[in-house]
Amino acid sequence: MVFRDFRAGGVIGKECDIYTDQLDEFKRIKKKYTDLTYNEYWSNQQNWSLSSLYPERYKNQQEFFEQYFIPLLDQTQYVCDLASANGEWSMKVAPYVNAIDGFEYASGMVEFANKEAEKKGILNARFYQADACALQFDKLYDNFMMMGLLTCIFDDSDALNIVRKVYQAIRKGGHLIVKDSMNVAGEDVIYLYNFLSRYDAIYRSKEQYYKLFEQAGFVMERDTVFHEVDKAGLAFESVGVIWKKE
Ligand SMILES: C[S@@+](CC[C@H](N)C(=O)[O-])C[C@H]1O[C@@H](n2cnc3c(N)ncnc32)[C@H](O)[C@@H]1O
């Protein structure tokens, strides 16, 4: 059973994680620990992969990706991976396409991804440091990946702007694959700050999350739940979706 009581401002989980449904409270907590606006957890990473943290979720993400995204690709295509992290998902795509561009905020991961691609002899994947909120795409992509980004974007107008920019950057008939974690225990948005790892996240309700894409013009083709988690009396789902620009 899911029990949520935010009367005290938030709930604290067993892993030094604080959850709240109030953005001001979240900002106040975060400010106690850091002056940085960008997520400190990510900026310190070089070779982050979900596979070591949540192997089952990773396996389901990989199956969904292989079953529904890879078959959309061909050797003529240009693909974009926004929030490319250590580059592993782009490198899975590289053999099937003409070229793939990865954009990622954390410079350590960008450096790692470019070195790794070079080491593996992957010549058609390039990784660039960029903030998704400010980035302007200078190409039209055939298909697009944006997995895990919106869980890091706190402002709804930033999130909607990103989704709109992505929509503009995809050719008609192209697809977008996303995956993010959502709050499935209610209507509210839930904010997380972990004062040990410095990880922070926003968990929108499924309805709010899907609306971001629908408002931008995308049509849902399929979705699936990769993983369900109960933490501190709250319920979250990691969900994968394929959206189409018709
Ligand atoms: C949950 S990870 C997902 C990584 C990978 N796409 C995957 O599916 O495993 C989220 C990624 O988004 C990046 N990120 C967060 N905020 C960003 C921003 N404003 N611009 C670009 N990348 C950002 C993080 O650094 C991190 O690599």
pLDDT in tens, 134-170: 999 999 999 999 999 999 999 999 999 999 999 999 9
Q: How far is the CA of 1 from the centre of ligand 1 (A)?
A: 31
Ligand 1 pocket: which residues have CB below 6 Å?
42, 50, 83, 85, 89, 104-106, 109, 131-133, 147-149, 152
Which pLDDT score is estimated for 6? 64
Residue 128 pLDDT class (50, 70, 90 cuts): very high
**Nearest atom (ligand 1) to Cα of 61:** 8
pLDDT of residue 1: 39
Interval between CA 8 and ligand 1 midpoint (Å): 31
Is the model's pLDDT at 3 over the cut of 80? no
Distance between CA 86 and CA 222 in Å, rounded?
A: 26
Mean pLDDT estimate for the chain:
93
Evaluate whether 142 touches 78 at the Cβ level (below 8 Å): yes
Name the residue at shortest CA distance from atom 7 of ligand 1.
147
Q: Pick the residue whose CA is nearest to atom 6 on ligand 1.
A: 147
Atom of ligand 1 nearest to the CA of 58: 9
**Confidence (pLDDT) at 195:** 86
The predicted pLDDT at position 13 comes to 82
Can you tell me the distance from the alpha carbon of 116 to that of 219, in angstroms, rounded to the nearest whole number? 35
Distance 151 CA to ligand 1 centre (A): 9
CA of 131 to the centre of ligand 1 (A): 10
pTM score, whole prediction: 0.95
How close is the Cα of 107 to the center of ligand 1, in Å? Answer: 11
Residue with tokens 């909607």: 160
Q: Over 70: is that where the pLDDT of 69 sits?
A: yes
How far is Cα 150 from Cα 211, in angstroms, rounded to an integer?
13
Give the residue-averaged pLDDT of 70-77: 98
Find the mean pLDDT for residues 101-124.
97
Q: Is the pLDDT of residue 36 over 80?
A: no
Residues of the chain with pLDDT > 90, as a percent, come to 75
